[in-house]
Structure 1
Amino acid sequence: MQKLISELTRLYLPDGGLPEGVLARHVQGQAANPVRLAASDGRTRALAIPFPKMADGEDTQHWSRLCEVANALQIALGFPAPAVSISGENGFALWLSLEKPIAAHLAQQFLALLRQAYFPDIALRPDAASAPLELPPGLHPATGKWAAFINPGLGASFADESGLEMAPPFAGQTALLQGLQRIGEAQFLSALDKLRQAHGAMPAAGDPAPQAAAAQPGLLLKDATLEDIVRFLHAKNIEPTFRHLLPNADPVPPPRARS
């Protein structure tokens, strides 16, 4: 349990934001209290994006939308892979971790612009960047089911589930978090600037939303290799430029010159 607490603290919790004893009771299901990711000064180093089940959509539509957004975060905005959780109530969430805290108004603006660009059909709270929320793993107070981080490759199998009936193993939750990287300050500010520019050039009502960097259907999170990305971008007549490679990534041959 201590390793899990360390990972949750490293990735999502503000300095001094939640006493270790309180967090220990939370992950054991002994206290089901929402957790505030923002510090007392209003700055936050973590963002959660909920994807609730859509009442008028297909059974897996909320999962498909999560995958589209997760791929856009990595391909279009250059972020490391986010964590994925099942909510314990009615859907999924993406979890983003920042190396340095940012002001709540910047975090809220980022979430609002991201929603406008990639998931306008899903509601976003006006205080989404600062409101208390259910931090996985934990027991949801309304449903009595467990919120938990999940392997993205198994996400579709949870589309009809509101949560887990039993507490997830601490070791498994820790393993899902240990490999996650935090978003650098320059990465975040660059992504925010891209979204601001896109917002300033949004098409008129009724025009299709920009899809230049959206992932192809079925391209799920970490399952997307560099070869997949190059192939997809070439199909859109886009010449990719990679500024860095993830550790242990398979090498990609240079793109062939086009006539």
Structure 2
Amino acid sequence: MPGIGKIIFRIMIAIIVILLLLIALIIGIGVAGNKLTIAVTGVYTVGRISDDAILGCTFIPDTTQANNIQWEKVGTSGVVYKYENGKSLLNGQNADFKGRTSLFISEIKSGNASLKLTQIELSDAGTYKCIITNSKGTGEDTLTFKVGGYTDVVVTSPSNDTLRCTSSDWYPKPNVTWESNSEDNITNTIKTTYPPALFNLTDVTSELHGAQLDVEYTCKIHTVLAQAVGVSMLTDFGLQTTARLEVFNSVDPLSVPRLWICALLLSLLLGFVHH
């Protein structure tokens, strides 16, 4: 009958084998699923109508030879941008993007393939592909680009017991909610209107009546892309307010390179063996 030491040793070997198989499986899924030979990471982005935006894309560069970059938008013909052998090749560029795209040329050698898009339009929203080719191979990733309208909120007090939140140029049409740090029910004291604005946008005006002194009221104008928050309080010394605008930009968790997961598993494995 094998001793305790041999049993423990066999268990450790089994764990190591399982971890190695798991690492191989993850690498296999990454290669088979995305057909990547170099790691490329696209970043989920939110852009505001008429502003400029940066569609993030990074990759592992070849520092000795050319890194060719091609941006495409899923569902459209032509390219969004093409960079090959150190030059921009825009003959096949989709007409919707002419004069509105550029790369950060000096940063390509560091692995930055991000695309700058100017004068954003609603039609720019969609799924984009960042495709990289160099001597190491070819890799690509997709990213989602959301476009909307949103601005800061301004809180005023048109009368002694009224608070008014105003904000302009929202898309899609936002929801408005009010909160207070008192126990009073304020639901029936609120009136919100949405005056139309240019380019399918909408303005927002929301009033709360019956506001009390020294009670904190919060007005939130929000969509799935952004929210404007105004906090106010009526005092004996006048109206006190603060405001902030939050845009829900975030890295798409599905586009984190699987290589990082493998590296983490490998480091755990080595640490286990060492101990």
TM-score class, shorter-chain normalisation, is under 0.3
| Structure 1 or 2: more strand by fraction | 2
Structure with greater proportional helix content: 1
Bigger relative contact order, structure 1 or 2 (CA pairs below 8 A, ≥6 apart): 1
Larger-Rg structure: 2
